[in-house]
Every structure is written in C-alpha cells, then in structure tokens.
Amino acid sequence: MTEFDAEDENAGDRHFVTSLQRGLRVITAYRPDDRALTNQALAERTGLPRSTVARFTHTLHKLGYLVHHARSAGYSLAPRVIELSRAALVSTGINELARPSMEALSELGPFSVALGVASDGGIRYLDLARRPEAIVLNLDVGALVPVLQTAIGRAYLSALSEVRRAAMLRQLKAADPALYDAQAPLLAAEMERYQSEGYVTSFGCWWPELNAAATTIRFAEDGDPLLLSISGLSSALTPEKVRGEYAAALMNAARVIEGRMRRRYSE
C-alpha cells in the first residue's frame, strides 16, 4: 500500500488518474532484496486484484520498465527504472546538495545519518553517511524502514496535514493493531515535540539498543518532505546527548540542505 489511501482521498478529483496511481504502486512494491516477483506476490503487497496487477505488469513489461522471467513467472525491475531514479536524483540535486551536510553531521558522533522519503507505507533510505564504527543495523540505501516505531517515520507523520495523517494512521492501525496501540502514546508525545522543538526521537522503540532522532526538510511547498535522521547505539546516542548536542546539529544540517535545495529550485 501507499503512504495513505490516495484513491479515497482523491475520489472527487476528476483530474486524478487512478490507473496511473495503481501502476506506480506496482513499481514501488519492489524492495532492495527482491529479484523477481510474481503477479500474486505483487497483488499481496499492493492490495490490488491479481487480474489488475497482471495487466499492469504486462504493460510495464511492454514499455521496458519490467523484465519477465518465464521460468519463475516473475517480473523484476528493468534498467529503465534505474534511469528514472538517476534522473530524479540529478534533477533534484539531492546527492550534490545533501551529501556534504550529511557527512559533516556524521563526523560529530558514532551514528548513521540517513536521508529518506515516504514510500510504500514506510520510509525509504535515499542516502546514508556514517563512520565505520557507526554501522549498527545491516541497512543500506534503498532500505525500507517502518513508520510508527522509528524516528524518521515519526518525523514524517508529524509533518503531514491532519487529513493525511489521519488516513495514514488508520492504515497503520489496520495493518497491525497491537503495534499501533503500543506506539500511539509515544507517537503523540513525539508529535508534540516536533511542534515545539522541531524534531522527534525514538529510544529503543524499533530495536532495543538503537536510539534515533529525526527532522524534516521542506524544499517545496507541495509534496512530501525529505527526512533526515541520526541513529546509533543507545550507549552512544543517549537521550541526554540528543537533547544537549545532537538535535541542534541535526536540525542545522536539515536547514542547510533545505536552503540549498530551495535556492536550486528558485534559479
């Protein structure tokens, strides 16, 4: 599923093309460790009927965005999709504009710095900067992390409009009621922190020994924000260090990246 139910939200918009939204849902269902997915697997991931998925995969294959594997009856992403990703990264200037600040931030402590964006019901890592000793989890660019229990996910929820946030929370609750009930009080407190202090935290909520803080980067008035987070072992990234030092550095890096991107788009 997508970050929220786009079809329901745009039901009254006569310019909204539902078939395009569904086709994109098929492409974004792929994860970094996927090789080939069958129509049935894609149907389960997207929530679309298998017959609908079959039409989309057939069309995407004909257009060169998917490769069909006859032996497994599966489809994998084609190099043409990589070209789309490359074009997006180049046109937005994400690597060029964000990387220097991310690397500078990573030098302040033994933690990973991640740049992410909402994708497929989670947060997708677009880039990572870290010192060798900061590798805590086996995550890399392209990894998809959950929303409710991570700082980067909480930052995203905090930045949404009330309508979009309510829609996404309904989806998250339906997907895992127990997890939602456990995380809801913490999420509410973090959203308040975001409003007053500009960042959110997650101390041991995803993995027991992992702490994190995150904030947002709004380089355009429309669309989802980029998300910037730091994460590390709880022994190094303590709540005291986050409040006393790292949160300010995190938000400063985000504002620098935001300023660079806004200037690029105004040129």
- pLDDT, position 86: 59
- Per DSSP, the three-state class of 135 is coil
And the tokens for 149? 């229990």
Q: What is the sign of the dihedral through the CA atoms of 71, 47, 116 and 182? A: negative
CATH class of 5-82: mainly alpha
User: Is the confidence at residue 40, as pLDDT, over 90?
Assistant: yes
Confidence of residue 71 (pLDDT cuts 50, 70, 90): confident
Confidence of residue 192 (pLDDT cuts 50, 70, 90): very high
Tens of pLDDT, residues 119-161: 878 898 888 998 877 666 777 887 889 999 999 999 999 999 9
- pLDDT, position 88: 62
Q: Which range is most confident: 2-6, 17-21, 253-257?
A: 253-257
Q: Where are the beta strands (DSSP E) in the chain?
A: 37-38, 66-69, 74-77, 112-119, 122-130, 144-145, 200-203, 210-217, 226-233
Task: Tell me the residue type at 178.
Answer: A
DSSP 8-state symbol, 243: I
- pLDDT, position 2: 41
- Per DSSP, the three-state class of 58 is helix
Confidence of residue 168 (pLDDT cuts 50, 70, 90): very high
> Using CA atoms, how far apart are residues 148 and 186, in angstroms rounded to an integer?
9
User: Is the confidence at residue 258, as pLDDT, over 60?
Assistant: yes
For the whole model, what pTM was predicted? 0.74
Domain ranges for the chain, please list them. Answer: 5-82, 93-266
Architecture of domain 93-266 in this structure: 2-Layer Sandwich (3.30)
Confidence of residue 224 (pLDDT cuts 50, 70, 90): confident
> Using CA atoms, how far apart are residues 9 and 241, in angstroms rounded to an integer?
41
**Residues 253/101, Cβ–Cβ less than 8 Å:** yes
Ramachandran bin of 107, using left for φ above 0, alpha for ψ from -120 to 50, beta for the remaining angles: alpha
